[in-house]
Chain A
Amino acid sequence: MGLRLIIVSALLILGTSKVNAQNYELGKVTIAELQEKSNAKDTAAPAAILFKKGRTFFTYTEGKGLVANNVYEFRIKIYKKEGLKWANQEVSYYVGYENLNDDTVKFSNAATYNLENGEIVKTKLNSEGSFKNKINKYWNQATITLPNVKVGSIIEFKYVLKSENLVRLPDFDFQYNIPVNYFEYKTEIPEFFIYKTLLVGNLKIETNAEVVLSSQVFASGYKQINSFYTSKDIPALNEERFVDNINNYRGSIQNELEKERYPDKPAINYTKTWEGVATSIYKSKDFGGELKQKDYFSADLKEILQKTDSKKEQLNLIFQFVQNRMNCTGKRGYFVDKGVVKAYEEKSGNVAEINFILISMLKTAGIDVGPVLVSTVENGIPVFPNRTVFNYVIGVAEIDGQKILLDASNKFTTPNILPLSLLNWKGRLIKEDGTSQEIDLIPKITSKENYTITASINPALGEIEGRLRIKKTDYDAFRFREINSNDNEDSYLEKLENDLGKIEIEDYKIENKTGDLSKPVQEEFNFKARNSFDLIGGKIFLRPILFFTDGTNPFKQEKRQMPVYFGYPGQETYNVFLDIPDGFVVESLPKPMRIVTENRDASYTMNMISEESKIHIQVTKEINKYIFATDDYDMLKEFFQNIIASQNEKIVLKRI
């Protein structure tokens, strides 16, 4: 059996390498490639990766143990000046392990190819263009800059990244902001390790796997799983507005260790199911162990609990206590750094420390509460169960059957309001018994912004004068507080005046910017607006919601590559009560408007009534979904286009 397998696989490998030999081997640059003026599939591309090859295999060294060797080979064609930056290459590698040797990176086979008088001229990289940089305690960086690179050049290089960290293999990205003509990635994993493989992005790629006999790593033969991934013509992926994280959509192959099973030892489960992830994280001393500690806050907790018997109020008080006492070092992660006791004493800690303190206090107070592992937006979406997808931990409490999400490491959050970077798919609640449960992080409640204007028009002065009331709830309130927390009133007003078409603000009042954060932020002030209407030929032309009119469509691109992310459902309402000046009457009003998209995911209404000398305008805009599929882009674009058209229709007043 075994023998046949080997033969088959050897043939297979021979077969594939033969096909590839002409095009995908370093050093074999062709004149045709050098003559190419632009990329066939993307003529605007400044450069293209003609191929990227990767191979991951394991070696064993006495005393060091197993090492994952990751070999990468690139050939890149430069078409335009903007593509010259590809001639500089940087690879960061980790040197901050506690129990493992540092990762290493070594570049080789780096060269530039140019066509000179019809001949291929190769310039090799030597040591003067190669650098090692110690960024900080945790990271080093290897850098090369290739010689003699011009428009039209082809560059090639290879590097080997060695790591003793076998838990997560380096991600193999195959999509960049330039096209990739061809890629292949091969992993050769001894049977003692089972990796979970994740394909990110929505590109179709070819994969196949086979089992072969091997004795590369250990003297005695063992089985090895060879997996092979390949595809062609991967389009460039570029930044777009309203995207949570481009890496959620970038083509990439990720591998995480699931199980270790040496012949004579019991198997070690790293991950497999969410349950497995939960147990393994919970068992860590820096997680579950820290959650068990509770003596350090007894005195403070006792004092809080004396104030009320209501569980809900207790929760609020404890939350506020921890939020006020603790200051976040900005470090993310789900493990503690210095430990909860020391953090509590020093009044500063990382996210895990602060939220563990919160969870422990709530639990001691008799509230049903547990830790929830979360991945921030910047960290990407956790789709498959594994340990490394999470980078943050919050709490969830349950009172009267209602779940309340809690993050006390931010100064502006409240129960059920999380920092915006946590509004990312789903979290995992870990229970003490090792079971876990999915927790939806996307807010169900609609955050609201309410604007009420009462104003009168003064045609002689060309002014609109009035009073404006603004009310912001939930996430809109959170955002307001977070953005403006450091501004003093003067500079905030300057900003507001300029944002609202240079109105002049007086008599400004604000409530609940600080203090009780569960209440809406309310602003109120008098204003004078100079540029809010046109007086043309004895007629007044003005836009129904004045300086709040949307001027431009946020969606300008013709084509969209990624889904549209809004973060949370929101509603904006404008109520404008206008006094018609003496001597004028309404000549025409814009048409009332109602736009509703499919499934009511977004809606817009404008209504207007005019009675005697008054006009009342009401505009409501709702976005009811936090993310829209790429296919919905055209619909959204049109939706905003219609809104703008509607808001820019004029109210016309004429002299009597």
Chain B
Amino acid sequence: MKSPFFALFFLLFSLISTAQKSDFSVLGIADSLKANADAVVRLDKMDIVITSQRSMNIKVQRVVTVFNGTGLSDIDAYQGYDKSTSVKSIEAIVYDAFGNEIKKVKRKDFKDQSAVSGSTLFSDNRVIFLEYTPVSYPFTVVYNSEIESSNTAFLPQWYFLGGYAVSIEKSVLNVTFPNNLGFKKKEFHFSGYTINKTLDTDTQVSYVATNILAQKSEDLSPSHRDLFPRIMMGLENFHLEGVDGTAKTWETFGKWYNEKILTGTTDLSEETKTKIKTLVGDEKDPIKKAKIIYDFVQKKSRYVNIAIGIGGWKPMLATDVDRLGYGDCKALSNYTKALLQAVDVPSYNTILYGDRYKSDIQSDFVSMQGNHMILAIPNGDNYTFLECTSQDDPFGYQGTFTDDRDVLVVKPDGGVIVRTKIYEDKGNSQLDKGVYAIDENGNFSGSISIISEGSQYSSKQRLESFQPTEKESYYKKYWDNINNLKLGKIAFSNDKENIRFTEDIQVSAISYASLSANKMIFAIDAFNQNTGNIKRIRNRKNPFQVQRGYLDTDEIEINLPTGFTIEFLPSNYELKGKFGEYKTEIIKKENNKLLYKRSMFVNKGKYSNKEYDEYRLFMEQIARNDNAKIILTKN
């Protein structure tokens, strides 16, 4: 009872201070948010203020609690910048599990480095990021940043759930904009999530999302772009690197793109024009002319990405590509277009998402989109698309990088959305014809011809460029069911006219068949075994998809060793279902010969999570049957 006054004061003081800290203590996080989560985003707040067509300010606050090392990548404490985007402030404060501050990171302690990556040779983009060594888990980072940009062509997406194994307690979006710029937005995949639109006027929009639980990554899932909630935003009147733009309709956007970005980039010297005209000669057919020019571009140029200023958006001049022999996708597409122009073949720049995973330009949301450019040449009612960055692709081939998706074709009188070429499942084929023999010691020798077409062509075409050691390891992996595989002669023929790739290969292997006592056992399907390697997934949540179907057909002649008789032969087998069809047949011929026939057809499709196990078992059935063994007994 010595000094009650002080005690009271102290109590008050500590109450206040804990009240402040408790915001960032991990104790309050709901268990449901912690389940399956490496990190919980306590708050993700983005305030976008567009003050004019040429000025935008974005404030971001993120409060992220990290539970383990994997969760570090969810902190997202980084900010890119360039000549038109400046970072006004950036800072982070780290709190321990109880909400006590343990470190303050000021702007000067953030790392600043060039954002050049992968295939880009040079870019003036840079990034400022937080580099923090956790001293214990869990901990919480409060990150604040503010940027200002004169580029309003790309409004950020509200895409708070950026990956798997992270949950979101609360995410807030506030956008303020002048009512004359034509602000627009589009919501995606909101169902099943608690997301509220709290404000929607002609100058303001606000959203709040709460309690989004962490999800597990599962094989064959659609991209999280196509699963998770997000909002796309854009302006009808925007600004890009010193140029005002408009995107009310695809038509006006296309016109703008043509006039402001592409104009003047396709001039060529008279010398080059003459050269090209000579090259094309008397050819009249536009597609045949295009073929000659595409071949010329492929031999002359190579892909180099240099992104400086508006160069990131505006193609290099065709005269420069002509002189230097390199460029990025825009530059090479545009150069090809210029050459085509010289021989009166019209063609159009085409904007799209280039990716093995098929993803569309959002056709009902007019805005700058895409990450790649190809060239479209009108061909009857359709288009022939040219991938100008490739030195190998056959004319008009779209393989697996640009096929079957919505793209924007920029014509002089406006843009139009077009679907690119769809490769039919049955056309994605592989035809195997071969023969093998087993000798009395179980050794294997044989040869096979493999013909690949459609989308299967694209995975085989690259074999041509392999080094001998790469070829060796490719085939030893491809036939990893044949132990001790030794490769003999390997020959390829690449028929670009018909888009057909043929491999002719001789192989041998000692002890392919295993000998036990007086018996010999081996798998009859030596050349095309499906491993059925579809992962078991406990309680799958997401739907799954097979993006491209295919058809494999095999016909293999088998010469059995002399001095043995067949004790057991696998029976013929057939499997049909919604995922595809599979059939094998073994025909006994005279002289110890067998004929093995197999066909496997998988169709493309989208399926629910419930169907996954069925799919796995379908593939596993096939794998089992592919591994069916024959038993021989010594006479």
Residues of A within 8 A of B (CB): 44, 46, 80-82, 84, 87-88, 128-129, 131, 133-137, 143, 145, 147-151, 238, 327-330, 346-348, 485-486, 488, 490-491, 493-494, 497-498, 502, 504, 531, 534, 536-537, 541, 551-553, 556-558, 587-588, 590, 641, 644-645, 648-650, 652
Contacts and interface: CB of A to CB of B under 8 A. Distances in A.
Contact of A645 (B134, B304, B511): B511
Contacts of B521: 541, 650
A330 B133 contact: yes
Contacts of B473: 556-557
A151 B465 CA distance: 13
Contacts of A347: 135-136
B180 interface: no
Contacts of B514: 645, 648-650
Contacts of A486: 38, 68-70
A641 B483 contact: yes
B323 interface: yes
Contacts of B538: 490, 493-494
Contacts of B113: 135-136
Nearest to A497: B536
A145 B326 contact: yes
Given A150-B299, A329-B133, A588-B517, A557 B629 contact: no
Interface of B: 36, 38, 68-70, 103, 111-114, 116, 121-122, 133-136, 216, 299-300, 302, 304, 306, 320, 323-326, 391-392, 465, 467-469, 472-473, 476, 480, 483-484, 511, 514, 516-517, 519, 521, 535-538, 567-568, 570, 620, 624, 629, 631
Most B CB contacts (10 A, CB to CB) among A536, A644, A652 go to: A536
A143 B114 CA distance: 14
Nearest to B35: A488
Given A149-B325, A537-B568, A552-B483, A590 B516 contact: yes
B324 A129 contact: yes
B516 A650 contact: yes
Contact of A652 (B116, B516, B624): B516
A644 B135 contact: no
A324 to B, nearest CB: 9
Contacts of B136: 327, 347
Given A44-B467, A347-B135, A149 B302 contact: yes
Given A44-B468, A135-B113, A150 B300 contact: yes
Nearest to B324: A147
A129 B316 CA distance: 13
- Chain B facing A: main interface SS: mixed
A494 B535 CA distance: 8
A131 B133 contact: no
A148 B469 contact: no
B629 A82 contact: no
Contact of B537 (A143, A149, A494): A494
Most A CB contacts (10 A, CB to CB) among B216, B302, B465, B629 go to: B302
A641 B326 CA distance: 48
B293 to A, nearest CB: 16
11 contacts: A46-B467, A145-B304, A147-B324, A486-B70, A490-B36, A494-B535, A494-B538, A537-B567, A557-B469, A648-B483, A652-B516
A145 B121 contact: yes
Given A553-B484, A649-B516, A536 B535 contact: no
A347 B567 CA distance: 71
A148 B301 CA distance: 7
B472 A148 contact: no
Contacts of A44: 467-468
Most B CB contacts (10 A, CB to CB) among A131, A485, A587, A590 go to: A131
A131 B121 contact: yes
B18 to A, nearest CB: 23
B325 A150 contact: yes
B472 A556 contact: yes
B133 A88 contact: no
A82 B391 CA distance: 10
Given A531-B620, A552-B483, 17 more contacts: A81-B391, A81-B392, A84-B391, A87-B302, A133-B114, A134-B114, A137-B111, A145-B306, A147-B325, A147-B326, A348-B135, A494-B536, A494-B537, A641-B484, A645-B514, A650-B514, A650-B521
| A-B interface, 5 closest residue pairs, ranked by CB to CB distance from nearest | A537-B568, A147-B324, A131-B122, A136-B113, A148-B325
A148 B624 CA distance: 54
B70 to A, nearest CB: 4
A136 B111 contact: yes
Nearest to A236: B467
A553 B116 CA distance: 39
A644 B483 contact: yes
A133 B480 contact: no
Nearest to A129: B324
A274 to B, nearest CB: 33
Contact of B326 (A149, A346, A587, A588): A149
A82 B306 CA distance: 20
Most B CB contacts (10 A, CB to CB) among A136, A498, A551, A556 go to: A556
B483 A553 contact: yes
Contacts of B537: 494
A536 B467 contact: no
A84 to B, nearest CB: 5
A129 B324 CA distance: 9
Nearest to A82: B465
A128 B484 contact: no
Contacts of A328: 133
A131 B124 CA distance: 10
A590 to B, nearest CB: 7
B629 A541 contact: yes
Contacts of B324: 128-129, 147-148
Most B CB contacts (10 A, CB to CB) among A84, A151, A329, A490 go to: A84
B535 A80 contact: no
Contacts of A534: 629
A181 to B, nearest CB: 18
Nearest to B391: A81
Given A346-B135, A494-B537, A649-B514, A238 B320 contact: no
Contacts of B476: 552, 556
A153 B112 CA distance: 38
Most A CB contacts (10 A, CB to CB) among B113, B392, B473 go to: B113
Contact of B121 (A88, A504, A645): A88
Nearest to A491: B216
A192 to B, nearest CB: 38
Contacts of B134: 327
Given A149-B326, A498-B535, A645 B116 contact: no
Given A81-B392, A149-B326, A536 B568 contact: yes
B300 A136 contact: no
A649 B522 CA distance: 11
B116 A133 contact: yes
Nearest to A177: B467
A457 B285 CA distance: 70
Contacts of A497: 536
B465 A80 contact: yes
Contacts of A137: 111-112
B480 A551 contact: yes
A329 B109 CA distance: 14
Given A133-B122, A136-B113, A536 B631 contact: yes
Contact of B133 (A128, A151, A348, A498): A348
Contacts of A587: 517
B535 to A, nearest CB: 5
Given A88-B121, A149-B325, A558 B472 contact: yes
B312 to A, nearest CB: 15
A84 B631 CA distance: 52
Contacts of A136: 111-114
Contacts of A329: 133
A328 B69 CA distance: 13
B449 to A, nearest CB: 23
A411 to B, nearest CB: 9
